[in-house]
Structure 1
């Protein structure tokens, strides 16, 4: 039991949902300078600028006798070619170099299942918080065991609490724990033996358990989303600060830069402050939070800052007179803006990026793997011109890759939303596929499914995509297939809308699918979980197999090895 609690002062810096955006991105601003509307582009964000600003803030905190903590509120995986190419290795290297003190796990860390998280934990130099991730029944036969790792702060099933960290600040303990979306199985690919449990009950139990030890200063690093954080602050007393992620909310007033205001920074609900810092490494949030001896917050000050370079790119053809004058005024306006920091790139972190990772990414962007002889159209739901020309080929690529790896696949189904763009005729590179066409690094799996459930899955996906008799979740669920053909009659009763369902057999003929025959299929792990109308796929025999091949891996292999009339090898 802690006795004689005392006040503490903390400066906390935070980022979230960085999604492998290590390099700066162009950002167009909307400014009004002396009545003239300008739309300059600036170089925004990136890890090297974050590193520079964090070092500045840490130095200021030390000078003012304040504790400094730097946290990441989840979702560092996915997003760019740095993840498509290096999976989690670049993320661990860059976060280590950035000097992160701790991080909460996000849903995209689990897009490829548990194994990449285990590899990530082997590499990072900071703890990963996952306070409602129950690992107590994890199979001990796994090669990537997570339970019992010292740097993973997971759920304590016997106590029904999160395992928390204790940070000693001027001899006074501060408790920090993490929570993530409890519906993780619905949006990610967490292993079935390691579920996420209810976040709110975990929060209530954890706060009570912390307080029983005498600690009265509590911080939550959350990947519940902004609404989830607000709801938790309403329901759970005793948490002074929630540092959030998942919903990409850039708190603060940036309206005079052309960015819509979503929330004030440090939204207060009851006695809890909530902060979130946008996404894609565009901004750094930081706050000074002072605690009274009794654990209440005496002072809270903070803001999000857009981190930009010193140069502005302005279309001067839109200006009539005094071009340089307006340009200089715009530059000065940004330099003096309360929520903008013009800062240089940190040389050490930039060197790591330049020496280790950027050359390989640039090579991908230059390496032509095929030439497309005509434009290839992608549309989610077929129209009068037909359906997607790309999604069926992506499904076909699953079959070829899985068969190449020893699986005997009869058919494949792929949801339209997994393909993100059309393709123009001409050369295409690996970067075009992995960075634009199929940017989500989601694994492909195989499964055994009776014919009647294939029909149900197809109908459920189309019903969902078209809101036909169900409340759908979007057109992205529309199914495209390989080795299957069928007709959908939307005016038939639910359950009887798929007719004339056939499969192309290995002896090169079409054959009607039999309801009770088991067929071998391939889809993304996302679809295999039965999301967005694909519930019937979960009726698979056994549990299926999730491979380590992504959608892009399969399609790149297909392009290189299975040329057809639209895609030609170079």
Structure 2
């Protein structure tokens, strides 16, 4: 009897070896093409080099959803069974297309591009739960975020979003885990939706997928390049990190003549060695605004590990494609855009003219576009002495030439109101010291830096090596009615015009924390948006010739 059983087992094992590979517990090699994009911010139309309106379509204009469609289609048709397309979040918010149409074009063009999955971004929650769930209900791909905790019946895990999704590529299970920046809590100041630690959440989900036999695991999310690198270091089960949020341009030049038009912030991909063992995990991001489409070809062995040597066998192709004039826009996609463009015609009318390039600058630098915006804000209130706006609210530049409403929406897409704040000079100094405390002696360009643009003030700051946070303002002057400047008076009340993003919301105090510990005499929400204020100011003051005026300065010294 024992011999019969042994023969039976031997025959069974021999037959099992002949079964199709997906029916046995054996791995197989996999070649996977990964396309990825991030921070589209509703940039459906092509833009110029400053990510502003493309005035004269030419090879010098970039992006546009029609070009992206062409390129992804070309790659997918080459390897249809082994290509996935990932969106790393912030599909929403940034142009008139979102300001006026909300999620409707996102549904149409998201389904048209047919993403495999999309990681949720902070701006995808800008219209709260009710702005996201109709999108979720009508798209053909899953939305991912492993670090969302919601008790809201209107935002349900497993219906509106998922911690992860698993797709099968040529018989191999590929898991994709989402994550989103914890700063998204600003959209939910009353705490109805919570955003927990990304690293711990992705690790838990990766362990779950691994236990279920998922061999290849990708993190797809929206927390910024620095967090992406930490994920790769701290979660060794990952095989790839696809990120967004920081609009980081990663690129590896092929030779010394290969010089891209954008500043390179790191290698593409960035190879990160895990803190546990010697596993190396690629990290990628593709700047923003549909200007680039990332593409990796990954080769995995039978155990689901990238082949070695990694930079030739494991990752056999890696490139972010520039969506310039060499990529022909897809005609069907262009036709789909017409009905939306026709509804925006009122915003294409000329409001004024700029004689200079109104350009964004660094987080701790004065910019002439910041000066123009804050000048338009201070004009909203007759009694305002100072205006301020956060750099993050300024999203684009305005080239020399005619200025349209559309141009202003590229710059100010969030429709924040211009609010009024009254406080004593001593409290105003405290608030600016809070902003100045974000400056870094070691890294002058470190985000968020000073983070403000100003009108009606001249502020000089010094940052020392020994960290003089709280005592960085060396001179603070306020513009008087004669156009000159007087020293800030500690016991005098001042009226400020501020963007509502800096104001108090719900249980939260002030969004950037500038006024959290400051005594406010009066706070009045505005009725005019920053777009409306800027449009009126352009019409009144055209031609525009805004300059850098020394409204604030930052100096670095070993000591005071």
Give the TM-score, by structure 1 length: 0.65
Inter-partner Cα distance in structure 2 for 1:232 and 1:226: 10
Shift of 1:123: 4.6
Structure 1 pair 215–232 and aligned structure 2 pair: CA distance change class (3 A)? same
- The size of the alignment, in residue pairs, is 469
Shift of 1:92: 3.4
Alignment of 1:273 with 2:273, yes or no, is no
Partner of 1:508: none
Kindly indicate whether the alpha-carbon contact (under 8 Å) linking 2:286 and 2:292 is maintained by their aligned counterparts in 1: yes
Partner of 1:73: 88
List per-residue Cα deviations over 1:37-84 (Å, max 9, x = no partner): xxx95454332122122222222213xxx3331111122334444344
Structure 1 pair 370–227 and aligned structure 2 pair: CA distance change class (3 A)? closer
Shift of 1:8: 5.7
Partner of 1:31: none
Alignment of 1:431 with 2:406, yes or no, is yes
Structure 1 pair 522–68 and aligned structure 2 pair: CA distance change class (3 A)? same
Aligned match of 2:97 in 60, 82, 107? Answer: 82
Kindly indicate whether the alpha-carbon contact (under 8 Å) linking 1:22 and 1:47 is maintained by their aligned counterparts in 2: yes
Structure 1 segment 321-400 matched on structure 2, within 5 A: 342-353=326-337, 355-361=338-344, 363-365=346-348, 367-369=349-351, 388=371, 390-397=373-380
Alignment of 1:95 with 2:110, yes or no, is yes
Partner of 1:403: none
Partner of 1:20: 42
Partner of 1:335: none
List per-residue Cα deviations over 1:508-528 (Å, max 9, x = no partner): xxxx9999x9x9986422454
Aligned match of 1:444 in 417, 440, 461? Answer: 417
Kindly indicate whether the alpha-carbon contact (under 8 Å) linking 1:167 and 1:175 is maintained by their aligned counterparts in 2: yes
Shift of 1:263: 0.6
Alignment RMSD: 5.1
Structure 1 segment 267-306 matched on structure 2, within 5 A: 267=271, 269=273, 270-298=279-307, 299-306=314-321
Kindly indicate whether the alpha-carbon contact (under 8 Å) linking 2:218 and 2:240 is maintained by their aligned counterparts in 1: yes
Structure 1 pair 71–463 and aligned structure 2 pair: CA distance change class (3 A)? closer
Alignment of 1:234 with 2:233, yes or no, is yes
Partner of 2:77: 59
Partner of 1:552: 531
List per-residue Cα deviations over 1:457-512 (Å, max 9, x = no partner): 644367559999xx99545425548xxxx998989x969999999xxxxxxxxxx9
Kindly indicate whether the alpha-carbon contact (under 8 Å) linking 1:8 and 1:170 is maintained by their aligned counterparts in 2: no
Segments of structure 2 that go 5 or more residues without pairing to the other structure are 1-22, 51-57, 274-278, 308-313, 463-469, 479-488, 545-560
Kindly indicate whether the alpha-carbon contact (under 8 Å) linking 1:11 and 1:286 is maintained by their aligned counterparts in 2: yes
Inter-partner Cα distance in structure 1 for 2:524 and 2:158: 26
Segments of structure 1 that go 5 or more residues without pairing to the other structure are 29-39, 154-162, 312-341, 401-408, 502-511
Kindly indicate whether the alpha-carbon contact (under 8 Å) linking 2:177 and 2:206 is maintained by their aligned counterparts in 1: no
Kindly indicate whether the alpha-carbon contact (under 8 Å) linking 1:391 and 1:414 is maintained by their aligned counterparts in 2: yes
Inter-partner Cα distance in structure 1 for 2:426 and 2:150: 32
Structure 1 pair 550–89 and aligned structure 2 pair: CA distance change class (3 A)? farther
Give the TM-score, by structure 2 length: 0.66
Alignment of 1:253 with 2:253, yes or no, is yes
Kindly indicate whether the alpha-carbon contact (under 8 Å) linking 2:87 and 2:118 is maintained by their aligned counterparts in 1: yes
Inter-partner Cα distance in structure 1 for 2:385 and 2:128: 23
SS at structure 2 position matched to 1:287: strand
Structure 1 pair 301–428 and aligned structure 2 pair: CA distance change class (3 A)? closer
Kindly indicate whether the alpha-carbon contact (under 8 Å) linking 1:443 and 1:550 is maintained by their aligned counterparts in 2: yes
Inter-partner Cα distance in structure 2 for 1:286 and 1:218: 17
Structure 1 segment 96-495 matched on structure 2, within 5 A: 96-111=111-126, 113-136=128-151, 138=152, 145-148=154-157, 150-153=159-162, 163-185=163-185, 189-193=187-191, 194-245=193-244, 246-253=246-253, 256-259=257-260, 262-265=266-269, 267=271, 269=273, 270-298=279-307, 299-307=314-322, 342-353=326-337, 355-361=338-344, 363-365=346-348, 367-369=349-351, 388=371, 390-397=373-380, 414-415=388-389, 417=391, 418=393, 428-435=403-410, 438-441=411-414, 443-444=416-417, 455=428, 458-460=431-433, 463=436, 473-480=448-455
Kindly indicate whether the alpha-carbon contact (under 8 Å) linking 2:118 and 2:141 is maintained by their aligned counterparts in 1: yes
Shift of 1:378: 11
